[in-house]
Chain A
């Protein structure tokens, strides 16, 4: 191992650490003084207990069917502690509020499917038809553990072309604006 090699090694480590710290703002806080994030205002849980399925052929321009109020004026994002953003088959969908504990199934046209368990705090992959099952090993993502995970707020299943991202209310609101107001960015 020569001097220039060590120089290269240090350079790559510095760049990598810089990228990690920039994209995970809470990581430093959580390492030195882990503290629970302040809980959001209590949410009224609807007593709808059906298991909705999200099919990738759904029109991405529509609002999620559980959003209350379809007025033309300005559809609002239902309040929740956390939201899930789905990107399936390279198609983005509006953020989904995590209001209650349930399992949803996302099916692909070729028969593969992923089952995700949602809770008001976050979600994790329960089962998948993919070959490597890495998506299940990624475990649960919550707003608290998001910056400590390798994939941060994401749970992804590459073989089934599925990306799920956990969003905080502020991030979800920003994302929502892009759907409601696509031209007025």
Chain B
């Protein structure tokens, strides 16, 4: 009986991951249709982070990492181009590592983790831009603006993720 429960648990988790991935992709599509900041290039609401935060807090680190990689690959394949995959991955990887590390620090709530995640996502993308273009001027000029924007979007996605975590109870395998 114990094995069956474990197997059921794994199937449940797999289906949940698939649903989360689909939600993340749809959120990415929706947020690309809403113009957030008129004259500032590269500003997104980062709604996908709500899904990643949920996975990180409710399911665990490996699941969140897997979700991030799958989201980057699939949204790049469906909506974008190889360059976009590279930039998304740069931002997503840096953001995910930061969020994982920060979550381990006691006293930091999901809001702090989310803010750092959003900021690092933007910084990671700008860093790749700087490396590719061999141009540090635009990086130095523009990254602080993106950092401030990231604080705001991170705060909002953190609040949203906190709400989802509070009201959506799932059997969890995550370590506290």
Contacts and interface: CB of A to CB of B under 8 A. Distances in A.
A12 interface: yes
Contact of A134 (B41, B115, B143, B151): B41
A87 interface: yes
Contacts of B135: 87, 163
Instruction: Tell me what chain B mostly uses at the interface: helix, strand, loop, or mixed.
Output: helix
A16 B147 contact: yes
A5 B112 contact: yes
Q: How large is the interface on B (under 10, 10 to 19, 20 to 34, 35 or more residues)?
A: 20 to 34
Interface stretch (B2-10, B49-57, B102-110): B102-110
Q: How large is the interface on A (under 10, 10 to 19, 20 to 34, 35 or more residues)?
A: 20 to 34
Interface in B120-166: 132-135, 137-138, 140-145, 147-148, 150-151
B107 A138 contact: no
Contacts of B132: 90
Contacts, number: 90
A4 B39 contact: no
A139 interface: yes
B38 interface: yes
B96 interface: no
B116 interface: yes
Contacts of B137: 165
B77 to A, nearest CB: 18
Given A13-B148, A16-B144, A90-B133, A134 B108 contact: no
Contact of B38 (A1, A3, A137): A137
Nearest to A147: B141
A138 B132 CA distance: 23
A-B CB proximity, top 4 nearest = A5-B112, A16-B144, A19-B144, A4-B107
Interface of A: 1-5, 8-9, 12-13, 15-20, 22-24, 87, 90, 132, 134-135, 137-139, 150-152, 154, 156, 158, 163, 165
29 contacts: A1-B109, A1-B111, A2-B109, A2-B111, A3-B107, A4-B107, A4-B112, A5-B108, A8-B108, A8-B116, A12-B119, A12-B147, A12-B148, A16-B148, A17-B144, A18-B144, A87-B133, A87-B135, A132-B41, A134-B39, A134-B40, A135-B41, A137-B38, A138-B39, A139-B39, A154-B142, A156-B138, A158-B41, A163-B138
